[in-house]
Structure 1
Amino acid sequence: MELISGSQIAEEIKSALRVKNQEAGIIPQLEVVLVGENEESKVYVNLKEKAALSISARTSIRQLPASISKEGLLAVIAEANNDPAIDGIIIQLPLPQDLSPYQDEFLEAIKTEKDVDGFNPINRGTLIAGQAEFVSCAALACMEIINRYPPPGKNAVLVGDSFDLILPLAISLVREDFNVSVIKEYQAGLVQTADLLVVEKGQAGIVKGQDLREGMLVIDAGFHWEKGKTLGNVDKDSCSDLNGYLLPVPGGLGPMLIAKLMENLSQAAFKNRSSS
């Protein structure tokens, strides 16, 4: 399979956004709410901050203690909602254990027009009617790949059940006339008829070339840290002799997801300026 460079496409997207923002004289402003001391979350926030700089945007990081109350976090969100200088708000997930039961409440507290992650339950719901202010960046990243590398047919198999990728992607694909099957766990026998395979849930290297058919598009959405390196769900080496395309891990969906976040942020900034 031919490997798709998500990193290269992400750079193309960010470069275009930088030009667009600079020509319009707009500096998008992103507010990142980071609760607790999760080191992996800090790494992702740093990547988002760097990406924002690359498109001529600014990032403010609200670092909050894990001990903050539910009411305290809601107050921080309300403050950002009411700040006209802030175009987009994201809550870095996962939240600390004591706050995670209220995750949807926090996400719903973000104004839909500032919900650049596309995680607000209202945006997730209105996606069905094609009326969401913003769509999940992971789903948008997959659709970008699908549009650039169209699969040979309209049969899609999605593996997983996540609210941030699989569910919004399933809706997006149905709206594009795909026949969509969603399975919670990877089963090799259920992907033989797929033209498009997106595998989020699994384990390192669980998808083998022998499971796949010629010409299909495969998007690896699994991230595993093993033996000192990042691995995906797809065993790339076993797919090398097949025809088709593979968005691999690393260098695939991760960079694309952040680029799509920057796209949503820029869109929010343009809307914010036009309404003010």
Structure 2
Amino acid sequence: MSKILDGKAVAQIINEQTSQAVRQLAKPVRLAVVYDPENAGSDLYVGMKSRQAAKVGIETQDIPVPADANTETVQEIVRDLNQDHTITGILIQSPLPEAVNEQIIFSTVAPSKDVDGLGAVNQGLLFADSPLPYTIAATPQGVMTLLKHYQIDPAGKTALVIGRSQLFGRPMAALLNNADATVILSHRYTPAAQLKSFLKQADLVVVGVGQPDFVLGEDLKPGCVVIDVGMNIVDGKATGDVDYSSASQVADYITPVPGGVGPMTIATLLENTVKAAQENN
């Protein structure tokens, strides 16, 4: 039976440290969240982030994007936030309306306010494994923090990342590569038989594709580590991309859903926001 990687407990430690850091700052810490209120998932996530931010002393400003917004409309919103000295950090909650090019919006955010690390500057520094300070996307950084807490060192391991999004898969693969893992990055065009082969090789599996039961216990290498980034609702209940009941019989370590990566993502985002405040001060 797997040992549970308790993201909720580790996130609580991070949140306590963030709260202490906020109290030591002379100026208020404010996070602007740009989002599509018509997207039910975004509306839910923004509410969760705002409530947790309030608990650690971070103010939030939620900025809904009109349904008919285009890239230029949202760029103007972001540019105004870049110039607003009362705003510490800016979060672009994906997905935005269909007519908006998110990659352009991510890179419109000033690098010093890019607290989710999705702009071209911060991601470029990540892929270069730069010694300069930069911000890393909250979900993959949260995964790395969770692994470190449980003393799971990726160095020398074969790591399989399933999903190549800008928000998760690509930065996750870069972080694991920087940590000296041998990284396989798979995606929707990876043939099923090849993916099955990769799963049997992987010492560490990180999956975020938005499909319940995408990975089964029988697919996994015995003794591996499983990080489930997925969040799906099935029969009114939250579930990940991994079949927990079967995978937990094979893996040595596994994250639950809920209570695994989700709390780590929010805690890391708030941690990044305070770091931005400290550097800007």
- TM-score, normalized by length of structure 1? 0.91
Q: Does 1:47 align with 2:57?
A: no
Alpha-carbon shift at residue 244 of structure 1 (Å) = 0.9
Sort the Cα spacing of 1:35 and 1:237 in 2 relative to 1 into closer, same or farther, 3 A. closer
Residues 114-263 of structure 1 mapped to structure 2, 5 A cutoff: 114-131=113-130, 133-149=134-150, 150=152, 153-185=156-188, 187-201=195-209, 203-242=211-250, 244-263=252-271
Alpha-carbon shift at residue 268 of structure 1 (Å) = 0.4
Sort the Cα spacing of 1:64 and 1:181 in 2 relative to 1 into closer, same or farther, 3 A. closer
Q: 2:68 is aligned with what amino acid?
A: S
Alpha-carbon shift at residue 73 of structure 1 (Å) = 2.0
Once the two structures are superposed, residues 6-56 of structure 1 have per-residue CA deviations (whole angstroms, 9 ceiling, x without a partner) of: 111111111111012213445311011123422221111111111211211
Sort the Cα spacing of 1:72 and 1:238 in 2 relative to 1 into closer, same or farther, 3 A. closer
Q: Which runs of 5+ in 2 are unaligned?
A: none
Q: How far apart in 2 are the matches of 1:193 and 1:182? A: 13
Q: How far apart in 2 are the matches of 1:63 and 1:184? A: 31
Alpha-carbon shift at residue 254 of structure 1 (Å) = 1.1
Report if the CA contact (8 A) 2:36-2:42 is conserved. no
Q: How far apart in 1 are the matches of 2:248 and 2:228? A: 15
Q: 1:106 is aligned with what amino acid?
A: I
Alpha-carbon shift at residue 243 of structure 1 (Å) = 5.3
Report if the CA contact (8 A) 1:15-1:55 is conserved. yes
- Percent same amino acid at aligned positions? 33
Q: How far apart in 2 are the matches of 1:113 and 1:18? A: 21
Number of aligned pairs? 271
Sort the Cα spacing of 1:28 and 1:70 in 2 relative to 1 into closer, same or farther, 3 A. same
Q: How far apart in 1 are the matches of 2:243 and 2:95? A: 28
Sort the Cα spacing of 1:243 and 1:207 in 2 relative to 1 into closer, same or farther, 3 A. closer
Q: 1:118 is aligned with what amino acid?
A: G
Q: How far apart in 1 are the matches of 2:95 and 2:256? A: 24
Q: Where has structure 1 moved over 4 Å in runs of 4 or more?
A: none
Q: Which runs of 5+ in 1 are unaligned?
A: none
- Of residues 176-185 and 233-242 in structure 1, the stretch that sits farther from structure 2 once superposed is 233-242
Q: How far apart in 2 are the matches of 1:270 and 1:128? A: 24
Alpha-carbon shift at residue 125 of structure 1 (Å) = 1.7
Partner of 1:191, secondary structure, is: helix
Q: How far apart in 2 are the matches of 1:211 and 1:96? A: 36
Residues 18-33 of structure 1 mapped to structure 2, 5 A cutoff: 18-33=19-34
Report if the CA contact (8 A) 1:207-1:235 is conserved. yes
Q: 1:124 is aligned with what amino acid?
A: Q
Q: How far apart in 2 are the matches of 1:73 and 1:253? A: 29
Sort the Cα spacing of 1:199 and 1:64 in 2 relative to 1 into closer, same or farther, 3 A. closer
Report if the CA contact (8 A) 1:151-1:215 is conserved. no
Residues 84-99 of structure 1 mapped to structure 2, 5 A cutoff: 84-99=85-100
Report if the CA contact (8 A) 2:37-2:43 is conserved. no
Q: How far apart in 1 are the matches of 2:110 and 2:251? A: 44
Q: How far apart in 2 are the matches of 1:184 and 1:40? A: 23
Q: How far apart in 2 are the matches of 1:240 and 1:255? A: 20
- TM-score, normalized by length of structure 2? 0.90
In structure 1, what is the equivalent of residue 111 of structure 2? 112
Sort the Cα spacing of 1:70 and 1:192 in 2 relative to 1 into closer, same or farther, 3 A. closer
Report if the CA contact (8 A) 2:69-2:97 is conserved. no
Report if the CA contact (8 A) 1:113-1:268 is conserved. yes
- Of residues 52-61 and 205-214 in structure 1, the stretch that sits farther from structure 2 once superposed is 205-214
Residues 61-76 of structure 1 mapped to structure 2, 5 A cutoff: 61-76=62-77
Alpha-carbon shift at residue 137 of structure 1 (Å) = 0.5
Partner of 2:78, secondary structure, is: helix
Alpha-carbon shift at residue 247 of structure 1 (Å) = 1.0
